[in-house]
Structure 1
Amino acid sequence: MSRKFGQSARRVAAGLVSVLALGFAGTALAEPALWAVKDKDSTIYLFGTIHVLKPDTPWRSARIDKALAASGDLTLEIVGADDPAVMQPLVAKYGLDPAHPLSTKLAPATFQHAAELAQGGGMPPQMLNMMRPWLAAVSLSLIPVIKAGYDPKSGVEQVLIREIKAAGKAENAFETPEQQIRFFADLSAKTEADFLRSTLDEVDEGVGKIDKMVAAWAAGDTAELESEFVSEMKGDYPELYELLIVKRNQDWAGQLKTKLAGSGVSFVAVGSGHLVGPDSVQAQLAKLGIKAERVE
């Protein structure tokens, strides 16, 4: 079972419950990648995000700050992921299944492994047992990350939202919170269980691989990001890749085409996995006759 399945899927899941572990290591003068789409009266900046960071992670640059300042609005994957009033009812509806305990869906050793990890993170095993596998995977993936010093409130989206609100600018979203949660809630039972098992394998390895991935993000290394986010998920889980990456990128590209038909400057921030690889948002835009160029 590929570790990258858990890594790639949780990049998507992070937007819905603000969980995903990422860190930083960069090189001198390097910075996260930024792209721009333009026509005669519009500019749309595309920025790949990291959903959870250490509080002291440096990622701002003059290019990013200039693009954000010039933009009249911010578009994210979803709006409301940090609002318990929005998320808790959805998680209860789609993520909890007390009538069918998690312990009945997994091998005893696998559930015991999950329960030990949950207890080590302060989550009672009985709470874990109420969760569907996808929610258990997302929740357990955060435990070692927080222990390593990462903070959901320090993620890129949270920083951008605070700045946009302070400036009185508009927030938009490609998807609703319910849409994003259902990408996971509608997975087959087998895929859900695979997701959880791969998460447990990955957690056992610690946060070293996460640090490596974010080093690539911070350095703007799109080839390494493609390897970390896309390649194995595409090869090992093509149906999941098609659902979570390709179809969403196609939808977003269509929305961006409509937005480009208007006027003004906009800043779009989505998970970095959507802006790398052969099926990226930029690739989908190219199929629509729209060119995205990296801002240098």
Structure 2
Amino acid sequence: MLKFTTLIYSLLIMVVLAGCASNDSTSLKNEELNEQTDTEEKVNETALDYDGDGGYLWKVVNGETTMYLLGSIHLGHEKFFPLATEIEEAFENSDVILPEINMFEAEVDKEKINKMALFDDNTTLDDVLSEEFYAKLSDIFEAHGMPVETFNHYQPWFVEGLLADLVTKQSVLTPEYGVDLYFLKRALEDDKEIVDLETIETQYEVLSGFSMDTQVQVLESYIETYEEQADWLNQLGYNWVHGNNNSNRDAFVKQLSDRLESVDKEYKEEFNDTRNINMANKLDEILQNDSGQTYFVYGRFCTCCD
């Protein structure tokens, strides 16, 4: 299962765990989790060369208003930058920057997110996962010094986020070099106007709102393919940055399309389709208002296969 919000998970998993660290044995201190993940070894550098000039950029014009839309990814490699000349110039020429979320100014309601993450009754993770997948999850966590019992009161969608964070630590790609973070930092340095398209709470409301059947299906799928996830991410980044090559562009589209087709219909419709439609409506409203400004929009919702 593709984790689209890796950067957000990395931040908010820390927030939630730190916020409930004093509750009981079902939580893990922020410092402990950081120490565990920091000691993990990255997967070996492969023959993949991340020095490319790809990317996925569209230009939309209505009246005096111009909007650039960049299909980006939340993880990246230092060799990504600078990006293709057309992308860099589109950013430079823009007055307003529209990311999914401005992570530097996002306000996090710890109590609200913690409430979303935990079961609201006496249900536990081992109640909803099959014995086989619970054992596999236990093995994964145990390998990282994280007893599975620590997370037994967390819902499947949040535990999947924990796994995604572990995978990120093993990939050669990092949130630090994510395309979205790259432009967000530059927007702040250049004092450009920044307008969020979503909020952290909104994204978490979507994730926590899935039925338990969907949550379990997605988590078990991620557990099943856990060992392949880091390599999958590495290849995704390679195909993205070399997107000007037809074969890499096709491979990038296929990677994302295959993952979307493999997930539960409810997950695909709510997390991908509905979110995309909502953001597209916001962008259309901006274009229709025709302010005469130039906008630079970026996010995974702009990718060519959405």
Question: 1:15·1:81 contact (CA, 8 Å) conserved in 2?
Answer: no
* 1:237 maps to 2:237: no
- The correspondence of residues 142-181 of structure 1 with structure 2, limited to 5 A, is 142-181=165-204
Residue number among 258, 277, 284 corresponding to 2:285 in the alignment: 258
Question: 2:101·2:199 contact (CA, 8 Å) conserved in 1?
Answer: yes
Q: What SS is found at the alignment partner of 1:80?
A: coil
Matched with 1:113 is 136
- Counterparts in 2 of 1:60 and 1:198: CA distance versus 1, 3 Å: same
- Cα distance in structure 2, aligned partners of 1:186 and 1:79: 23
Q: What SS is found at the alignment partner of 1:207?
A: helix
- The correspondence of residues 130-209 of structure 1 with structure 2, limited to 5 A, is 130-209=153-232
Cα displacement (A) at 1:206: 4.7
- Cα distance in structure 2, aligned partners of 1:28 and 1:177: 32
Aligned residue type for 2:285: T
Question: 1:26·1:219 contact (CA, 8 Å) conserved in 2?
Answer: no
Identify unmatched segments of 5+ residues in structure 1: 1-5, 281-296
Residue number among 11, 16, 21 corresponding to 2:8 in the alignment: 16
Identify unmatched segments of 5+ residues in structure 2: 12-41
Question: 1:73·1:267 contact (CA, 8 Å) conserved in 2?
Answer: yes
Cα displacement (A) at 1:53: 2.4
- Counterparts in 2 of 1:203 and 1:127: CA distance versus 1, 3 Å: same
Matched with 2:113 is 91
Number of matched pairs: 267
Matched with 1:225 is 252
Matched with 1:288 is none
Deviates more, 1:146-155 or 1:64-73: 146-155
- Cα distance in structure 1, aligned partners of 2:228 and 2:261: 22
* 1:267 maps to 2:296: yes
Matched with 1:43 is 66
Deviates more, 1:117-126 or 1:59-68: 117-126
Aligned residue type for 1:183: V
Question: 1:245·1:274 contact (CA, 8 Å) conserved in 2?
Answer: no
Question: 1:74·1:170 contact (CA, 8 Å) conserved in 2?
Answer: yes
Higher Rg: 2
- Counterparts in 2 of 1:150 and 1:141: CA distance versus 1, 3 Å: same
Which whole-Å deviations, capped at 9, do the CAs of 1:216-238 have from their partners, x for residues lacking one? 21122443333221245247633
- Cα distance in structure 1, aligned partners of 2:265 and 2:62: 34
Which whole-Å deviations, capped at 9, do the CAs of 1:131-159 have from their partners, x for residues lacking one? 21011112112213313343222212222
Q: What SS is found at the alignment partner of 2:271?
A: helix
- Counterparts in 2 of 1:266 and 1:242: CA distance versus 1, 3 Å: same
- Cα distance in structure 1, aligned partners of 2:110 and 2:74: 19
Question: 1:48·1:270 contact (CA, 8 Å) conserved in 2?
Answer: yes
- Cα distance in structure 1, aligned partners of 2:166 and 2:82: 24
Q: What SS is found at the alignment partner of 2:108?
A: helix
Cα displacement (A) at 1:113: 1.5
Cα displacement (A) at 1:122: 4.2
Question: 1:94·1:185 contact (CA, 8 Å) conserved in 2?
Answer: yes
- Cα distance in structure 2, aligned partners of 1:81 and 1:90: 19
- Cα distance in structure 2, aligned partners of 1:146 and 1:70: 35
- Counterparts in 2 of 1:209 and 1:148: CA distance versus 1, 3 Å: closer
Matched with 1:211 is 234
Which whole-Å deviations, capped at 9, do the CAs of 1:150-177 have from their partners, x for residues lacking one? 3222212222111111111122122221
Matched with 1:291 is none
- Counterparts in 2 of 1:135 and 1:227: CA distance versus 1, 3 Å: same
Aligned residue type for 1:36: K
TM-score by length of 2: 0.77
